[in-house]
Amino acid sequence: MTEPPARPTQRDIARRAGVSTATVSYVLNGRRGGAKPPPEETRRRVLRAVAEVGYQVDHAGRSLRRRRTDLVALMYPAPSSPWSDRLVEQLQAGAAERGLGVVALPLGGAASGDAALRVLRERYVDGAVLLPDCGVDPAELARLAGRGLALVVFDDHLAPDGFDVVRQDRARACRAAVEHLVNSGHRRIAYLAHPGEDRWDTGRSVKLRGHRDVLAAHGIAADPGLVLPVADSRPAAYAAVRDLLLRPDPPTAVLSATDRAAIDAVWAARDHGVAVPEGLAVAGIGNIPEGLVITPALTTVGARELDFSREVARLFARLDATAPLPGEVMAAPWELIVRASA
């Protein structure tokens, strides 16, 4: 007997089992339209051949013919976070029920953004959820949706256009956090920014703008020395807050673009003998579970529950729909969650 080919096809199986490729496909996938499946004996012969050569269906062939990929994606800005982890998990649960796969597309440097977009554009996947700040051009989103890609997009400003938009109202929530600090009497409020956040287009820098606008509204002069691009690195955040506290004119409060960096701010204060919130009030943004662990518990802004079941259900509804669904706005508003740290 000859070696089985490196990647056997249904033709190989058909030859081996003495049937046609149509029969192989019917055995493997069942038959459409209520027709009877192949009889047991044929079935057995085919399945034996499949086992013998270790046949696996080829995605490219199947996908070209079926006009779908049976794959969905989650796109999000790196690094991954409790939200991206949780959303992947919930997507996987829904996908498993439907026999679909899930891939994550973390957006790293500039180059990776384009590569990730290619995955959507060239139809590696049937649908995708885009977490906030993926930075995809709205016209591009509309075009993708127009071509039948199922799309659920987290964005506070975009209008739905063949895709659904999840509104978190982050700007309002972030402003509420700054208001809270100001109303507690703080005037020197530092902000731990995403690196480069001040150069982002305005749609993405909601957090920084919340800080700026609310201070301005209260007639508090902006101090550029209190805006530090350290929110994406825990060691950098810790060091920055420590340095802040050693200044002659330390801030009395810190708002951080990420809960992670806010937590480091709490440590830095505690490690240097500054009480939180008495000596330094600290608020984060994001409401990750970790914020409940530290002492004092972290005041933050974010979704109350780490739950994306509605958004996930909507993606699958789009995938299951026979006719294109109209774009819909879904509200999932962020809230100010006052705990002990500010």
Binding residues for a second copy (CB under 8 A): 6-7, 54, 56-64, 69, 71, 73, 78-80, 82, 84-85, 88-89, 92-93, 95-96, 100-106, 108-109, 111-112, 115-116, 118-119, 121-124, 143, 146-148, 234-235, 238, 264, 267, 271, 289-290, 292-295
Distance of CA 117 to the CA centre of its chain: 14
Binding mask 244-263 for DNA (x = CB under 7 A): --------------------
Amino acid of residue 18 = G
Give me the residue label for tokens 């127009």: 146
Only one of the segments 60-68, 94-102, 225-233, 235-243 lies at the binding site for DNA (rule: CB under 7 A); that segment is 60-68
Task: Tell me how far apart the terminal alpha carbons of the chain are, to the nearest angstrom.
Answer: 76
Partner in contact with 321, chosen from a second copy, DNA, none, beta carbon below 5 to 8 Å by kind: none
Binding mask 64-103 vs DNA (x if CB under 7 A, - otherwise)? xxxx------------------------------------
- Candidates 205, 118, 198, 167; CA nearest to 311 is 167
DSSP letter assigned to residue 335: E
Segment interacting with DNA, rule: CB under 7 A, options 52-60, 85-93, 193-201, 238-246: 52-60
**Complex with a second copy: residue 149 or 181, whichever CB lies closer:** 149
Given 19, 237, 241, 337, the residue binding DNA (CB under 7 A): 19
Residues 6+ apart with CB under 8 A from 93: 312
The whole-angstrom separation of Cα 42 and Cα 18 is 9
Residues with Cβ within 8 Å of 156's Cβ and at least 6 positions away in sequence, in order, are 132, 167, 168, 169, 170, 171, 203, 206
CB of 95 to a second copy, least distance (A): 6
Which of DNA, a second copy, none does residue 38 bind (CB under 5 to 8 Å by kind)? DNA
In three-state secondary structure terms, 275 is coil
**Residue 202 φ/ψ region, left for φ over 0, alpha for ψ in the -120 to 50 degree band, beta for the rest:** alpha
* Side chain identity, residue 167: R
Neighbours of 74 (CB within 10 A): 25
> Which structure tokens are listed for 22?
């149509």
Query: CB under 7 A: which stretch of 27-35, 84-92, 283-291, 302-310 binds DNA?
Result: 27-35
Instruction: Pick one of DNA, a second copy, none as the site partner of residue 293 (Cβ within 5 to 8 A by kind).
Output: a second copy
CA 264 to chain CA centroid, Å, is 23
Contacting residues toward DNA, per CB under 7 A: 7, 9-11, 18-26, 28-29, 32-33, 35-36, 38-39, 42, 57-58, 60-62, 64-67
